[in-house]
Amino acid sequence: MARVRISDRIAAARAERVAKSAVRVRREIEAREGARVLVGGRQLVSFCGNDYLGLSQHLDVVSALQEAAAWHGVGSTGSPGVSGFHREHAAFEREMAEWLGYERALYFPGGYQANLAVLPALLGDGDVCVQDKLNHACLIDGARLAGCELKRYPHADPEAAMRQLLARRDGAAVLATDGVFSMDGDLAPLAELALVARAQDALLYVDDAHGIGVLGPEGRGSLAVAGLGAREVPLLLVPLGKAFGGQGAVLLGSAALVGHIAESARPYLFSTAPAPALAAAMRASLKLIRGESWRRAKLAMLVARFRRGAAAHGLPLQASTTPIQPLILGANPRALAVAKALEQAGFLVGAIRPPTVPEGQARLRITLTCDHTDRDVDALLAALVEALKASPDPVSA
Protein backbone atom coordinates (compact mmCIF):
# COMPACT_ATOMS: atom_id res chain seq x y z
CA MET A 1 0.00 0.00 0.00
CA ALA A 2 1.47 3.36 -1.09
CA ARG A 3 2.14 5.91 1.60
CA VAL A 4 0.23 9.17 1.50
CA ARG A 5 2.35 12.25 0.98
CA ILE A 6 1.18 15.54 2.47
CA SER A 7 2.26 17.41 -0.68
CA ASP A 8 0.01 15.21 -2.85
CA ARG A 9 -2.92 15.71 -0.49
CA ILE A 10 -2.42 19.49 -0.55
CA ALA A 11 -2.24 19.56 -4.36
CA ALA A 12 -5.44 17.51 -4.68
CA ALA A 13 -7.28 19.72 -2.21
CA ARG A 14 -6.16 22.83 -4.06
CA ALA A 15 -7.31 21.41 -7.40
CA GLU A 16 -10.71 20.60 -5.91
CA ARG A 17 -11.11 24.15 -4.58
CA VAL A 18 -10.22 25.57 -7.98
CA ALA A 19 -12.75 23.31 -9.71
CA LYS A 20 -15.49 24.42 -7.29
CA SER A 21 -14.64 28.14 -7.44
CA ALA A 22 -13.87 27.86 -3.74
CA VAL A 23 -10.39 29.37 -3.61
CA ARG A 24 -10.10 32.05 -0.93
CA VAL A 25 -7.89 35.07 -1.49
CA ARG A 26 -6.97 37.57 1.21
CA ARG A 27 -7.55 41.20 0.28
CA GLU A 28 -4.89 43.67 1.35
CA ILE A 29 -6.53 46.75 2.83
CA GLU A 30 -4.01 49.53 2.29
CA ALA A 31 -5.92 52.16 4.25
CA ARG A 32 -9.34 52.68 5.80
CA GLU A 33 -11.40 55.67 6.84
CA GLY A 34 -14.85 54.76 8.07
CA ALA A 35 -16.61 52.74 5.38
CA ARG A 36 -14.01 53.71 2.76
CA VAL A 37 -11.13 51.32 2.11
CA LEU A 38 -8.16 51.50 -0.23
CA VAL A 39 -7.61 48.27 -2.18
CA GLY A 40 -5.12 48.03 -5.01
CA GLY A 41 -4.88 51.80 -5.13
CA ARG A 42 -8.66 52.22 -5.55
CA GLN A 43 -11.06 53.60 -2.98
CA LEU A 44 -14.05 51.33 -2.41
CA VAL A 45 -17.07 51.58 -0.13
CA SER A 46 -16.93 48.50 2.06
CA PHE A 47 -20.14 46.62 2.80
CA CYS A 48 -18.47 43.53 4.23
CA GLY A 49 -17.03 44.59 7.60
CA ASN A 50 -18.50 44.02 11.06
CA ASP A 51 -17.67 47.40 12.63
CA TYR A 52 -21.39 47.96 13.06
CA LEU A 53 -21.24 51.05 15.30
CA GLY A 54 -18.17 52.61 13.69
CA LEU A 55 -16.13 52.38 16.91
CA SER A 56 -12.92 50.80 15.61
CA GLN A 57 -11.60 54.23 14.57
CA HIS A 58 -13.46 56.37 17.10
CA LEU A 59 -11.13 58.97 18.62
CA ASP A 60 -12.07 58.05 22.20
CA VAL A 61 -11.26 54.39 21.58
CA VAL A 62 -8.03 55.10 19.72
CA SER A 63 -6.93 57.62 22.37
CA ALA A 64 -7.60 55.11 25.17
CA LEU A 65 -5.48 52.54 23.33
CA GLN A 66 -2.63 54.97 22.74
CA GLU A 67 -2.58 56.35 26.27
CA ALA A 68 -2.66 52.92 27.89
CA ALA A 69 0.05 51.64 25.54
CA ALA A 70 2.23 54.61 26.50
CA TRP A 71 1.83 53.76 30.19
CA HIS A 72 1.74 49.96 30.12
CA GLY A 73 3.47 48.92 26.89
CA VAL A 74 2.24 46.75 24.06
CA GLY A 75 2.15 43.22 25.48
CA SER A 76 0.78 41.75 28.68
CA THR A 77 4.03 39.73 29.18
CA GLY A 78 2.40 36.45 30.16
CA SER A 79 -0.62 34.25 30.68
CA PRO A 80 -3.33 35.52 33.05
CA GLY A 81 -2.31 33.13 35.81
CA VAL A 82 1.34 34.15 35.77
CA SER A 83 1.99 37.83 35.00
CA GLY A 84 -0.50 38.83 32.30
CA PHE A 85 -3.59 39.82 34.31
CA HIS A 86 -3.54 43.61 34.51
CA ARG A 87 -5.53 46.31 36.27
CA GLU A 88 -7.11 47.27 32.91
CA HIS A 89 -8.30 43.68 32.37
CA ALA A 90 -9.85 43.57 35.85
CA ALA A 91 -11.64 46.89 35.39
CA PHE A 92 -13.01 45.84 31.99
CA GLU A 93 -14.29 42.53 33.37
CA ARG A 94 -16.06 44.28 36.26
CA GLU A 95 -17.68 46.82 33.94
CA MET A 96 -18.89 44.12 31.53
CA ALA A 97 -20.37 42.03 34.34
CA GLU A 98 -22.18 45.05 35.79
CA TRP A 99 -23.51 46.10 32.37
CA LEU A 100 -24.95 42.71 31.49
CA GLY A 101 -26.03 41.63 34.98
CA TYR A 102 -23.70 38.69 35.59
CA GLU A 103 -21.61 37.85 38.64
CA ARG A 104 -18.30 37.50 36.86
CA ALA A 105 -16.61 38.08 33.51
CA LEU A 106 -13.50 36.59 31.90
CA TYR A 107 -11.56 38.36 29.12
CA PHE A 108 -10.20 36.12 26.33
CA PRO A 109 -7.84 37.10 23.48
CA GLY A 110 -10.39 35.94 20.89
CA GLY A 111 -13.90 34.57 20.43
CA TYR A 112 -12.81 31.41 18.61
CA GLN A 113 -10.34 30.67 21.39
CA ALA A 114 -13.04 31.28 24.00
CA ASN A 115 -15.33 28.64 22.52
CA LEU A 116 -12.44 26.18 22.28
CA ALA A 117 -11.98 26.80 26.00
CA VAL A 118 -15.52 26.88 27.35
CA LEU A 119 -17.08 23.69 26.00
CA PRO A 120 -14.16 21.32 26.77
CA ALA A 121 -14.06 22.76 30.30
CA LEU A 122 -17.71 21.79 30.83
CA LEU A 123 -18.22 18.64 28.80
CA GLY A 124 -16.52 15.32 28.16
CA ASP A 125 -17.11 11.71 27.21
CA GLY A 126 -20.71 10.68 27.93
CA ASP A 127 -22.02 14.25 27.79
CA VAL A 128 -23.90 15.96 24.95
CA CYS A 129 -23.80 19.35 23.29
CA VAL A 130 -26.91 20.25 21.29
CA GLN A 131 -26.42 23.04 18.75
CA ASP A 132 -28.21 24.90 16.00
CA LYS A 133 -27.11 23.63 12.58
CA LEU A 134 -26.05 27.15 11.55
CA ASN A 135 -23.92 27.88 14.61
CA HIS A 136 -20.53 29.44 14.05
CA ALA A 137 -17.65 27.03 13.43
CA CYS A 138 -16.01 27.80 16.78
CA LEU A 139 -18.99 26.43 18.73
CA ILE A 140 -18.93 23.26 16.66
CA ASP A 141 -15.18 22.87 17.02
CA GLY A 142 -15.39 23.50 20.77
CA ALA A 143 -17.84 20.62 21.16
CA ARG A 144 -15.66 18.34 19.04
CA LEU A 145 -12.63 19.19 21.13
CA ALA A 146 -14.61 18.38 24.29
CA GLY A 147 -15.05 14.78 23.15
CA CYS A 148 -18.76 14.84 23.93
CA GLU A 149 -21.58 13.79 21.63
CA LEU A 150 -22.45 16.65 19.27
CA LYS A 151 -26.04 16.88 18.04
CA ARG A 152 -27.14 19.59 15.60
CA TYR A 153 -30.82 20.46 15.25
CA PRO A 154 -32.45 22.11 12.19
CA HIS A 155 -31.99 25.86 12.19
CA ALA A 156 -34.04 27.79 14.77
CA ASP A 157 -36.12 24.73 15.74
CA PRO A 158 -36.57 24.56 19.55
CA GLU A 159 -38.77 21.45 19.30
CA ALA A 160 -35.99 19.58 17.53
CA ALA A 161 -33.56 20.72 20.22
CA MET A 162 -35.98 19.37 22.84
CA ARG A 163 -36.13 15.98 21.10
CA GLN A 164 -32.34 15.75 20.94
CA LEU A 165 -32.00 16.56 24.63
CA LEU A 166 -34.73 14.06 25.52
CA ALA A 167 -32.79 11.32 23.72
CA ARG A 168 -29.56 11.90 25.64
CA ARG A 169 -28.05 9.53 28.14
CA ASP A 170 -27.36 10.40 31.78
CA GLY A 171 -24.48 12.79 31.15
CA ALA A 172 -24.41 16.56 31.38
CA ALA A 173 -25.86 18.68 28.56
CA VAL A 174 -25.17 22.09 27.07
CA LEU A 175 -27.55 23.75 24.61
CA ALA A 176 -25.45 26.19 22.57
CA THR A 177 -26.54 28.74 19.99
CA ASP A 178 -25.53 31.94 18.26
CA GLY A 179 -27.66 34.90 19.33
CA VAL A 180 -27.62 36.34 15.80
CA PHE A 181 -26.54 34.01 13.01
CA SER A 182 -23.52 35.40 11.21
CA MET A 183 -24.42 34.36 7.66
CA ASP A 184 -28.23 34.75 7.75
CA GLY A 185 -28.63 37.68 10.12
CA ASP A 186 -31.66 36.24 11.91
CA LEU A 187 -32.11 35.87 15.66
CA ALA A 188 -32.18 32.59 17.55
CA PRO A 189 -35.48 31.79 19.32
CA LEU A 190 -33.83 32.37 22.68
CA ALA A 191 -36.97 32.52 24.83
CA GLU A 192 -38.09 29.10 23.57
CA LEU A 193 -34.59 27.64 23.85
CA ALA A 194 -34.38 28.87 27.46
CA LEU A 195 -37.58 26.95 28.25
CA VAL A 196 -36.19 23.84 26.55
CA ALA A 197 -32.92 24.06 28.48
CA ARG A 198 -34.71 24.52 31.77
CA ALA A 199 -37.09 21.62 31.15
CA GLN A 200 -34.25 19.29 30.18
CA ASP A 201 -31.75 20.40 32.83
CA ALA A 202 -29.31 21.64 30.22
CA LEU A 203 -27.05 24.68 30.47
CA LEU A 204 -27.94 27.32 27.85
CA TYR A 205 -24.89 28.98 26.32
CA VAL A 206 -25.26 31.90 23.88
CA ASP A 207 -22.57 33.41 21.67
CA ASP A 208 -23.88 36.90 20.90
CA ALA A 209 -21.12 38.08 18.55
CA HIS A 210 -23.47 39.90 16.15
CA GLY A 211 -26.18 40.97 18.59
CA ILE A 212 -24.23 42.67 21.37
CA GLY A 213 -23.96 46.42 20.97
CA VAL A 214 -26.47 46.43 18.12
CA LEU A 215 -29.72 45.13 19.62
CA GLY A 216 -31.73 45.92 22.72
CA PRO A 217 -31.59 48.71 25.31
CA GLU A 218 -28.04 50.02 25.78
CA GLY A 219 -27.04 47.50 23.13
CA ARG A 220 -27.30 44.59 25.55
CA GLY A 221 -27.92 42.25 22.65
CA SER A 222 -30.18 39.40 21.69
CA LEU A 223 -30.76 38.33 25.30
CA ALA A 224 -32.25 41.74 26.11
CA VAL A 225 -34.48 41.53 23.02
CA ALA A 226 -35.79 38.17 24.26
CA GLY A 227 -36.26 39.46 27.82
CA LEU A 228 -33.67 37.06 29.23
CA GLY A 229 -30.83 37.45 31.69
CA ALA A 230 -28.29 35.53 33.73
CA ARG A 231 -30.90 33.25 35.27
CA GLU A 232 -32.14 31.91 31.93
CA VAL A 233 -28.76 32.05 30.13
CA PRO A 234 -26.09 30.94 32.60
CA LEU A 235 -23.24 31.51 30.13
CA LEU A 236 -22.95 34.34 27.62
CA LEU A 237 -20.06 35.06 25.27
CA VAL A 238 -19.52 38.62 24.03
CA PRO A 239 -16.96 38.77 21.18
CA LEU A 240 -15.40 42.20 20.73
CA GLY A 241 -14.50 42.23 17.05
CA LYS A 242 -17.86 43.47 15.82
CA ALA A 243 -19.81 46.29 17.49
CA PHE A 244 -17.00 46.92 20.00
CA GLY A 245 -14.63 47.55 17.10
CA GLY A 246 -11.76 45.71 18.78
CA GLN A 247 -10.50 42.23 19.46
CA GLY A 248 -11.05 39.48 22.00
CA ALA A 249 -14.12 38.18 23.80
CA VAL A 250 -15.66 38.30 27.27
CA LEU A 251 -17.32 35.30 28.90
CA LEU A 252 -20.01 36.06 31.48
CA GLY A 253 -21.62 33.77 34.03
CA SER A 254 -21.82 32.90 37.69
CA ALA A 255 -18.72 33.13 39.84
CA ALA A 256 -18.64 29.33 40.07
CA LEU A 257 -18.96 28.70 36.32
CA VAL A 258 -16.55 31.38 35.17
CA GLY A 259 -14.14 30.55 37.98
CA HIS A 260 -14.06 26.91 36.90
CA ILE A 261 -13.26 27.89 33.31
CA ALA A 262 -10.58 30.36 34.42
CA GLU A 263 -8.93 27.63 36.50
CA SER A 264 -9.22 24.69 34.11
CA ALA A 265 -9.64 25.71 30.44
CA ARG A 266 -6.36 25.05 28.65
CA PRO A 267 -6.78 27.69 25.89
CA TYR A 268 -7.17 30.31 28.63
CA LEU A 269 -4.52 29.02 31.02
CA PHE A 270 -1.80 28.62 28.42
CA SER A 271 -2.31 31.73 26.27
CA THR A 272 -0.76 35.15 26.68
CA ALA A 273 -3.34 37.59 28.02
CA PRO A 274 -4.59 40.40 25.74
CA ALA A 275 -2.67 43.67 25.78
CA PRO A 276 -3.70 45.92 28.69
CA ALA A 277 -4.03 48.78 26.19
CA LEU A 278 -6.62 46.80 24.24
CA ALA A 279 -8.64 46.32 27.43
CA ALA A 280 -8.52 50.07 27.96
CA ALA A 281 -9.77 50.63 24.41
CA MET A 282 -12.63 48.17 24.93
CA ARG A 283 -13.63 50.02 28.09
CA ALA A 284 -13.91 53.16 25.97
CA SER A 285 -16.02 51.27 23.42
CA LEU A 286 -18.32 50.02 26.18
CA LYS A 287 -18.89 53.57 27.39
CA LEU A 288 -19.85 54.66 23.87
CA ILE A 289 -22.12 51.66 23.32
CA ARG A 290 -23.99 52.41 26.53
CA GLY A 291 -24.16 56.16 26.10
CA GLU A 292 -24.66 56.82 22.39
CA SER A 293 -27.94 55.16 21.43
CA TRP A 294 -28.08 57.27 18.26
CA ARG A 295 -25.62 54.85 16.69
CA ARG A 296 -28.09 51.97 16.97
CA ALA A 297 -30.90 54.22 15.75
CA LYS A 298 -28.94 55.29 12.68
CA LEU A 299 -27.96 51.70 11.95
CA ALA A 300 -31.58 50.55 12.17
CA MET A 301 -32.62 53.31 9.75
CA LEU A 302 -29.94 52.28 7.26
CA VAL A 303 -31.03 48.65 7.48
CA ALA A 304 -34.65 49.64 6.88
CA ARG A 305 -33.65 51.85 3.93
CA PHE A 306 -31.65 49.03 2.35
CA ARG A 307 -34.48 46.53 2.76
CA ARG A 308 -37.07 48.93 1.33
CA GLY A 309 -34.87 49.58 -1.67
CA ALA A 310 -34.15 45.89 -2.16
CA ALA A 311 -37.87 45.10 -2.07
CA ALA A 312 -38.59 47.86 -4.61
CA HIS A 313 -36.00 46.32 -6.95
CA GLY A 314 -37.19 42.76 -6.36
CA LEU A 315 -33.94 41.62 -4.73
CA PRO A 316 -34.49 38.33 -2.83
CA LEU A 317 -33.09 39.15 0.61
CA GLN A 318 -33.30 36.82 3.59
CA ALA A 319 -35.62 37.74 6.47
CA SER A 320 -33.15 39.73 8.56
CA THR A 321 -33.64 42.95 10.51
CA THR A 322 -30.00 43.08 11.66
CA PRO A 323 -27.05 44.73 9.86
CA ILE A 324 -26.33 41.36 8.19
CA GLN A 325 -28.26 41.28 4.90
CA PRO A 326 -27.60 38.09 2.88
CA LEU A 327 -28.42 37.88 -0.83
CA ILE A 328 -28.34 34.19 -1.77
CA LEU A 329 -27.16 33.60 -5.35
CA GLY A 330 -26.72 29.82 -5.34
CA ALA A 331 -23.69 28.82 -7.37
CA ASN A 332 -20.16 29.85 -6.40
CA PRO A 333 -19.24 31.30 -9.83
CA ARG A 334 -22.30 33.58 -9.81
CA ALA A 335 -21.54 34.91 -6.34
CA LEU A 336 -17.97 35.63 -7.39
CA ALA A 337 -19.08 37.30 -10.64
CA VAL A 338 -21.54 39.62 -8.89
CA ALA A 339 -18.99 40.52 -6.21
CA LYS A 340 -16.45 41.32 -8.94
CA ALA A 341 -18.97 43.53 -10.78
CA LEU A 342 -19.70 45.40 -7.56
CA GLU A 343 -15.99 45.96 -7.00
CA GLN A 344 -15.68 47.41 -10.48
CA ALA A 345 -18.56 49.74 -9.56
CA GLY A 346 -16.73 50.85 -6.40
CA PHE A 347 -18.07 48.54 -3.68
CA LEU A 348 -16.38 45.83 -1.61
CA VAL A 349 -18.85 43.04 -0.79
CA GLY A 350 -17.90 39.55 0.32
CA ALA A 351 -18.85 36.50 -1.74
CA ILE A 352 -19.48 33.82 0.88
CA ARG A 353 -19.19 30.22 -0.31
CA PRO A 354 -19.18 26.73 1.18
CA PRO A 355 -18.06 25.49 3.64
CA THR A 356 -18.95 28.76 5.40
CA VAL A 357 -22.52 28.28 4.11
CA PRO A 358 -24.28 25.12 2.88
CA GLU A 359 -23.67 23.82 -0.64
CA GLY A 360 -25.73 25.66 -3.24
CA GLN A 361 -26.21 28.70 -0.99
CA ALA A 362 -23.31 30.91 -2.01
CA ARG A 363 -24.23 34.50 -1.30
CA LEU A 364 -23.30 38.09 -0.92
CA ARG A 365 -23.09 38.93 2.77
CA ILE A 366 -23.90 42.63 2.84
CA THR A 367 -23.27 44.36 6.16
CA LEU A 368 -24.28 47.89 7.10
CA THR A 369 -22.56 50.12 9.63
CA CYS A 370 -22.93 53.56 11.20
CA ASP A 371 -20.21 54.79 8.85
CA HIS A 372 -22.45 54.36 5.80
CA THR A 373 -24.69 57.12 4.48
CA ASP A 374 -28.07 57.07 2.77
CA ARG A 375 -26.25 57.83 -0.48
CA ASP A 376 -23.96 54.82 0.01
CA VAL A 377 -26.95 52.53 0.49
CA ASP A 378 -28.81 53.85 -2.55
CA ALA A 379 -25.69 53.60 -4.73
CA LEU A 380 -25.07 50.01 -3.63
CA LEU A 381 -28.64 49.05 -4.49
CA ALA A 382 -28.32 50.54 -7.97
CA ALA A 383 -25.02 48.71 -8.51
CA LEU A 384 -26.54 45.45 -7.27
CA VAL A 385 -29.38 45.66 -9.79
CA GLU A 386 -26.92 46.15 -12.66
CA ALA A 387 -24.57 43.42 -11.44
CA LEU A 388 -27.40 40.90 -11.17
CA LYS A 389 -28.61 41.77 -14.68
CA ALA A 390 -25.12 41.10 -16.01
CA SER A 391 -24.95 37.75 -14.19
CA PRO A 392 -28.43 36.20 -14.32
CA ASP A 393 -29.43 33.08 -12.44
CA PRO A 394 -28.64 30.18 -14.84
CA VAL A 395 -31.74 28.34 -13.63
CA SER A 396 -34.14 31.16 -14.51
CA ALA A 397 -32.24 32.65 -17.43
| Binding-site residue ranges for substrate | 24, 136, 356
Tell me the three-class secondary structure of 13-29, residue by residue: HHHHHHHCCCCCCCCCC
Where in 240-304 does DSSP place strands (E)? 249-253
Binding positions for pyridoxal 5'-phosphate: 111-112, 182, 210
**Spatial distance between the Cα atoms of 165 and 389, rounded to a whole number of angstroms:** 47
**Spatial distance between the Cα atoms of 43 and 24, rounded to a whole number of angstroms:** 22
Shortest CA distance to 380 belongs to which of 321, 327, 322, 319? 327
Are the beta carbons of 97 and 252 closer than 8 angstroms? yes
**Spatial distance between the Cα atoms of 97 and 169, rounded to a whole number of angstroms:** 34
SS3 for 108? strand
Question: Environment class of residue 44 by beta-carbon count within 10 Å: exposed (0-12), middle (13-18) or buried (19+)?
Answer: buried
Long-range contacts of 20-27 (CB under 8 A, 24+ apart): 20/332, 20/354, 21/331, 21/332, 21/333, 21/336, 21/353, 22/332, 22/353, 22/354, 27/348
**Residue 370 to residues 212, 245, 296, 298, 309, Cα–Cα distance (Å):** 15, 12, 8, 6, 18
323 cis-preceded (ω within 30 degrees of 0): no
Binding positions: 24, 111-112, 136, 182, 210, 356
Are the beta carbons of 188 and 132 closer than 8 angstroms? yes
Pairing of strands 128-132, 149-153: parallel
**Spatial distance between the Cα atoms of 267 and 26, rounded to a whole number of angstroms:** 27
Are the beta carbons of 250 and 96 closer than 8 angstroms? yes
